[in-house]
Amino acid sequence: MNNYKKNSLSLTGAVALGTGVMIGAGIFALLGQVADLAGTLFPLAFLVGAVISGFSAYAYIKLSNAYPSAGGIAMYLKKAYGPGTITAAGSLLMAFSMVIGESLVARTFGSYTLQLFDVEQNSIWVPVLGVVLLVVAFLINIAGNKVIGSSSLAMAIIKIGGLVIFAIGGLWAAGFSFGEVVPSSISGDNSVSGYIAALAFTILAYKGFTTITNSGGEIVNPNKNVGRAIIISLFLCTLVYILVALAVSANLSIPEIIAAKDFSLAEASKPAFGKYGLWFTVGIAIVATISGVIASIFAVSRMTAMLTEIDLIPHKHFGMPG
């Protein structure tokens, strides 16, 4: 894979892929769970999660600058432990975690889409729509990096711009009052273990920057641009997450957020956007989840292709690298 589609992905394309996974899996799928675990402090949990993720991102930046590769973490493990069992096991665990993340985002896609229709959330259509999304994302991936980069960039602009509009609208509807956002006292209903679990969820929301390392063999000037893409993506997502969390906290109580859970953003948009809030939020969610699955499949395919190239997992070619 050393020359596979080399220099076929731009810096903006890599940022679009990174934010695609981070925002696709993060604010839509996890905000309700974080609020359930952290209570009124859930906006702060996203900030602390960003700081913790920043330390991990620094390590990835240093490694990607030294060993740019489409294999990402698989290449780093190979450099540390050699082409053996530890490298294969660690890489496959990372790939499996991405697949789990894809299923979470695909389910969120189904849940949000059904908000437009009079269909129950436990309907069979939720997993059906999730499978349809996975198939579409797969087809986009096999179309090539030009299609992946262009589609990811367009969707990144739509969803980031839309979420910023949502956040500003939500804060405006609340009169830009942060009285409910910054509680005067901490509720005793949430345990320390709950706060720690909430932090774990927020770190998962930022985890998408690891996808960018899988573009190392294809991005232009990888020794510099992989690190730049990680920094830009982490900054953009931190800003968006905090703004959205503040807007939701300003418009909904914790019980209301927990009750809505999978579609808490749609509920929080109603004070600012009225009957159009549902359509607006669902539209952003659909775009975000599509881009998240596209980017995640991209990362998994590159990592597993590198593992086949160094004969750590069995494979057949089917015209693919490795």
Here the tokens at position 10 are 């731009």
pLDDT in tens, the chain (322 residues): 555 566 678 888 888 888 887 886 567 668 888 888 888 888 899 999 999 999 989 988 888 888 887 777 888 888 888 888 888 888 888 888 778 878 878 887 888 788 788 777 677 888 899 999 999 999 998 888 788 888 888 998 998 999 999 899 888 887 766 555 555 555 556 678 888 988 988 888 887 787 888 777 788 888 888 889 999 999 999 999 999 999 888 888 888 888 877 667 878 888 888 878 878 888 888 898 898 889 888 888 888 877 777 777 766 554 444 4
Report the alpha-carbon distance of residue 155 to residue 17 in Å, rounded.
10
* DSSP structural state of residue 83: S
User: Is residue 94 in some structural domain?
Assistant: yes
User: Is residue 3 in some structural domain?
Assistant: no
The pLDDT, as a whole number, for residue 52 is: 94
Closest among 265, 270, 266 to 246, alpha carbons compared: 265
User: Is residue 101 in some structural domain?
Assistant: yes
Q: What CATH number should be reported for the domain holding residue 187? A: 1.20.1740.10
118: burial class by Cβ within 10 Å (0-12, 13-18, 19+)? exposed
- Residue 99 C-beta-side C-alpha neighbours within 13 Å: 10
Closest among 34, 302, 270, 18 to 153, alpha carbons compared: 18
Q: Are 27 and 240 in contact (CB under 8 A)?
A: yes
User: Is residue 171 in some structural domain?
Assistant: yes
The pLDDT, as a whole number, for residue 315 is: 62
pTM: 0.81
Report the alpha-carbon distance of residue 105 to residue 129 in Å, rounded.
11
Domain of 18? 11-309
Residue 264: how many other CB atoms lie within 10 Å: 24
User: Is residue 60 in some structural domain?
Assistant: yes
Report the alpha-carbon distance of residue 299 to residue 293 in Å, rounded.
10
The pLDDT, as a whole number, for residue 180 is: 54
Q: Are 100 and 76 in contact (CB under 8 A)?
A: no
User: Is residue 159 in some structural domain?
Assistant: yes
User: Is residue 110 in some structural domain?
Assistant: yes
User: Is residue 320 in some structural domain?
Assistant: no
Q: Are 42 and 183 in contact (CB under 8 A)?
A: no
Angle (deg, nearest 10), helices 27-38 and 264-273 = 100
Strands (E), 183-273: none
Specify the number of domains making up the chain.
1
